Amino acid sequence: MNFQIHFDIPFYLFILFALVSAGLAYLMYRKLDVVSRPRRMFLGMLRGASLFFLFLAMTNLVTEFVRHEYKKKDVLLLVDDSQSMALKDASMARPAAVKNVLKSASFDTIQHYFNIDPVVFGEKVLRHFNIDSLRYDRPGTDISAAVAKSLRMDDNGRTAFAILISDGDYNMGGNPMDLVRNLTFPVYTIGIGDSTLPKDVIVRQVIPAPSIYAGKKSVVRSIIGSNGYGSALVTAHLADDGREVASKIVTLPEHGDVEVSFDYTPSTTGTHLLRVYVPPLSGEFSTRNNSASVSVDVHKGKYSILLVAGAPASDVAFLRRNIESGGDFELKMLVQRTGDTFYGKDASGILAGSYEAVVLYDFPNDRSALTKSEVIGRLNRENLPYVYFAGSGFSPRNVGQLPRLPFEVSGYQPGEYQVGISPETGHDIPATLQPVYSLVEANSSMFPPLYYRRIDCAPAPGSVVLASPSMNGVKYSSPVFLADPADRSAAFLAYGLWRLQLMSPISGLQNDFLHEFLATLLRTLISSGKQRLLTVRTDKSVYDPSETIHFNALLVGQDGKPVDGANVDIVVNEKNGKRLSAIKMSPLGGGAYAGNLSGLGEGRYEYVADATSGSTFAGADSGIVTVEPLNVEYIRTAMNVSLLRQIASVSGGTFFTPSQFVRNGIDLETSWKEPAEISHSRSFELLSSLPVLAIVFVLLALEWTLRKIWGLP
């Protein structure tokens, strides 16, 4: 360790300041014969020193003090602590192979010359560990995150190299090679495990149908892998919440995958856990990967929707096509022919059918008579949720007769304009309307111009404005999109909806936006009357026993606005009702709350949540969470030797097997062994430096005091 001082003025100025200061001090005291010469010399030195420091301070000199120290260079030690590292290969158990590496003389040599900076990783990355703290129980492997951590830990180039100990099988994050190319130091990889595929059967994945409905048959697919069991016959089973519902006899390939399809017809709605499993076979490398699970939501069935149009129009065709395209809705359509009739043979039967929501397009209009009475009567009697879309035939008088209309018309200008859509500010939107608002807000800037007949209107009591029309960047005062979550009605007052799809390649809007918008709006209106005040969800539906369960809650009031400052508690029970744990949720703001729970063993658990605001009950919710071993760490059981070799080669390192490392070690370069110089600097300006000004003050004060003592003026 050593020190250096740097100044930002030439050295000759120091000499000049010193000579001038000494000269002035000499002139001041050379003729003062009333005191002895030694005293004059001492006073002169005090005066000269104070003048010298004053000259330096007046130049606003910047002084930098630099401290140098020398330390060993760093070696980053990255150790894979995931579940696959606990497997036992033909030659040795993987934990024993890791211990042999870290206890070897080759590794001791590295520790002698370098500072070891240890990092353990699985699904996340943690610094600092020792051999005994490795548990090999992490449910995922993210090698890319470990490499990213290495990039951040390289302190001013002090890293000599890194050692990566892993089986190379990553199942989280991106390809680590995308980051390895950015490293400025070599990575020496030590591959753990056998590189040849062991004899094994693996259920790789369970793939349910996109939408599953109670009482309706759907198909559940599963991918089953095999190695070493060619032509063997096995029975694959499908279980729903632990109860077997289907099975298939499968002929396994010698190497590769086979797809199995099961017919699945759930009888109840709600969350179901689907599990595909194959009984263990003789000689399997691991039976942990003989099953895979997925959680699915079973819906009540398709929603029945009635579409009523005032006349044939392009928008009507696009509304029909996009409502039907998702598979969640069964649509019946009526198009007005005259004031008394609709097109179609069974119009009266269609109108009399059972529906869960109604879509009105440009209806009723000035041509509507009995058709208007029939539809309005249906909306009144059954209190059906509905959405009204304006068209070119907008009639304030007729539209005003619709029940629960979310807007009130005060004037109407029939001229046609082309407008954009400008969303309102999101903090005023109730939670029940956030899904549809967020969709519009995120995409409105890419909307093509829509047609609009200027309607002077205001929101009805209880309704919320979601967007307004705008032209040339100027927003109109009248709304274009409104909804009333309590009355379950909505209105969109611009038309030309076909443009949202046909012009999407030009505007940049996603091609399926119109479908997403309609489906989200209809689901929102249908479910608004059933909206829970407290909604609790977990970030996943199936957890490995080693994972932490994260609960997230949203609490809203009767007005749909977020409620803060409440007490939200969750009780987790076994299915038999036995209470296991209680969680007090922490507030996050905006009506959001969060809490965590760890340590649940395998099983299916029910949770019940309730919220109180003061002494008042504010809401409740419940749900199910499943804990069972996940096989993601066992889908690939052989060492990924190609990736480990590539990481080493691209970074400038070398690939080792454990025995090769123990026997040969790393060929350490001489420059790596040289200590790294670490500099610590501190600079300050003399003019604003209190120590320097204090020195000047002390010198002047001491000189003045001595002058008085020795009888000088």
Q: Kindly report each contact of residues 315-319 with a partner whose C-beta sits within 8 Å and lies 24 or more positions away, as own/partner.
A: 315/361, 315/362, 315/389, 315/391, 315/495, 315/496, 315/497, 315/498, 316/361, 317/498, 318/497, 318/498, 318/501, 318/514, 319/359, 319/361, 319/389, 319/497, 319/518
Q: Is 181 exposed, middle or buried (0-12, 13-18, 19+ CB in 10 A)?
A: exposed
Q: What is the distance between the terminal CA atoms of the chain, rounded to a whole angstrom?
A: 50
Does domain 200-299 sit in CATH 2.60.40.10? yes
For residues 144 and 173, the answer to whether their CB atoms sit within 8 Å is: yes
State the pLDDT at residue 359: 97
State the pLDDT at residue 497: 95
Euclidean distance between CA atoms 648 and 143, whole angstroms: 13
Sign of the Cα pseudo-torsion (632, 633, 635, 636, in order): positive
For residue 470, give the DSSP letter: E
Which tokens hold the place of 406? Answer: 């979310």
Q: CA Rg, the chain, in Å? A: 39
73-192+638-674 CATH pick, 1.20.1300.10, 3.40.50.410, 3.90.550.10, 3.50.30.30: 3.40.50.410
Residue 382, helix vs strand vs coil: helix
Task: For 627-655, give the secondary structure using H, E and C.
Answer: ECCCCHHHCCCCCCHHHHHHHHHHHCCCE
Q: Which CATH class is domain 303-529?
A: alpha beta
Beta strand ranges found along 424-510 (DSSP E)? 450-459, 464-471, 474-475, 481-484, 489-492
Domain parsing of the chain, residue ranges: 2-68+681-709, 73-192+638-674, 200-299, 303-529, 534-627
The CATH T-level fold of domain 534-627 is Immunoglobulin-like (2.60.40)
Cis peptide before 364 (omega within 30 of 0): yes
State the pLDDT at residue 590: 83
Euclidean distance between CA atoms 413 and 421, whole angstroms: 19
- Name the pairing type of β-strands 534-538 and 549-555: antiparallel
Residue 605, helix vs strand vs coil: strand
Q: Give the closest residue to 276 by CA, choosing from 207, 345, 341.
A: 207
Q: Give the closest residue to 655 by CA, choosing from 279, 167, 102.
A: 167
Task: Report which residue type is found at 58.
Answer: M
Q: Is 565 exposed, middle or buried (0-12, 13-18, 19+ CB in 10 A)?
A: exposed
Q: If you count them, how many residues does the chain have?
A: 713
One fold for both 303-529 and 534-627? no
Dihedral, 228, 234, 239, 243 alpha carbons, nearest 10 = -130
Sign of the Cα pseudo-torsion (402, 407, 409, 414, in order): negative
Q: Can you list the residues of the chain whose pLDDT is less than 70?
A: 1-14, 17, 54-68, 155-156, 426-427, 529-531, 559-560, 575-577, 677-693, 713
For residue 711, give the DSSP letter: T
Which tokens hold the place of 504? Answer: 């999407």
